[in-house]
Amino acid sequence: MDVYGFNLEHGQQTGGFISIYNKDEASAINNVIAGWNTQGSNACPDMRCPGFESVFSSEIVPGMVINPVSTTSSDKQYITVRVSKDPNSGDWQVYYGFNGEARLTGYYPRSLFTSLSYKPVTIMFGGYAFKKEHKLPSPPMGSGNAPIKNAASFSSVKFFDAGGNSHQINSALGYISNCYRVSDFEHDGFFYGGPGNFC
């Protein structure tokens, strides 16, 4: 997924993500999320939060600054993210790469989860934009441009089952706002985003 940076106001947040959760646990916010974000306030997306176990040899940890980021007038910078459940331990492993192949950065121990450890999961991915106060404008999503020209993208999107077999993603992508758009899913990827503002 392409990575962008914005100067946001306090209470605004935007980013790109992949989320794995079990519907039984949605109300408890018991899920695994990986991606990038830009926010105008402090949250807990890093190692100050309990649970994530970093791999000693990893060069990155959650919360690190990604630099450089993409702009609409220069080369795209991207992160490769992979999340998988270890078949032996049941731990959820997070792999990450900057402009290249993803490598293991750490894991969330199985002990943190209940039904996410042994029941079917739901996978969500895409962009998001958030504002805490109604009077604030909605922040940009992706590159700040709607698809397709100069828009942010996800590419090489793949789903692997427990046996390591890849499956094509063939469902339509949806959106829930007039501020942002998403393209059709083609060639293992899609474009998304928009300028936000008051819409």
pLDDT digits (tens, 9 = 90+) for 172-187: 777 667 789 999 888 8
What is the structure's pLDDT at 3? 93
pLDDT number for residue 155: 92
- Burial-class residue 166 by CB neighbours within 10 Å (0-12, 13-18, 19+): exposed
Q: Rounded CA gap, 79 and 96, in Å?
A: 7
In degrees, to the nearest 5, what angle opens at C-alpha 93 toward C-alphas 92 and 96?
140
Q: What is the pTM of this model?
A: 0.83
Residue 159: which H helix or E strand, with range?
Answer: strand 159-160
Q: Domain extents for the chain?
A: 12-193
Q: How many CB atoms lie within 10 A of CB 34?
A: 22
- For residue range 104-116, what is the model confidence (pLDDT) as tens digits? 999 988 888 877 7
- Is 130's pLDDT higher than 60? yes
**Can you tell me the mean pLDDT for 54-77?**
82
Q: How far is Cα 4 from Cα 76, in angstroms, rounded to an integer?
A: 9
Cβ proximity of 66 and 3 under 8 Å: yes
- Cβ-based neighbour number of residue 54 at 10 Å: 14
